[in-house]
Structure 1
Amino acid sequence: MSEESVPQQGGATSAGDADGRPKGLLQQMEELMAALNADLSALDAEFQSSGGSGRGAATGVVKSGD
């Protein structure tokens, strides 16, 4: 993940809106979800452009040979 896609945390300016009021939890979650969706879309586009065969290998599922 690139640095510009990581949301800034802390600090007086990033903790509230233009009026200086703190953001509500719902607004913070919506912003984080939007950032996550953008990151996932970029990763998906990169995956699709690289061929993307072998989707099962990326899930982390390991099959045992019983």
Structure 2
Amino acid sequence: MSQETVPSSQPKGLLQQMEELMAALNADLSQLDADFQQSAERPATPTPADGSDHA
């Protein structure tokens, strides 16, 4: 009636979970980067941010 699993498999399972989470996070960040790249190609309102308009 032991609920104990093989101790050596536990860290391996945690490492695998972390790798899967990191892969999912990397995919999400890559998608966000792609979205930002697309939004950067089409500026919504071009305004002079450096104040070069004022002489």
Return the TM-score normalized by structure 1.
0.43
| 1:38 maps onto 2:43 in alignment | no
Higher helix share: 2
Using CA pairs under 8 Å that are at least 6 residues apart, name the structure with larger relative contact order, 1 or 2: 1
Distance 2:26 2:11 in 1: 22
Unpaired segments ≥5 residues, structure 2:
35-55
**CA RMSD, Structure 1 to Structure 2 (Å):** 2.0
- Deviation string 1:16-49 (CA, Å, 9 cap, x unpaired) is xxx8452232200011111111100000000011
Q: Percent identity?
A: 15
Number of residues paired by the alignment?
34
Moved >3 Å (runs of 4+): none
Task: Normalising by structure 2, report the TM-score.
Answer: 0.50
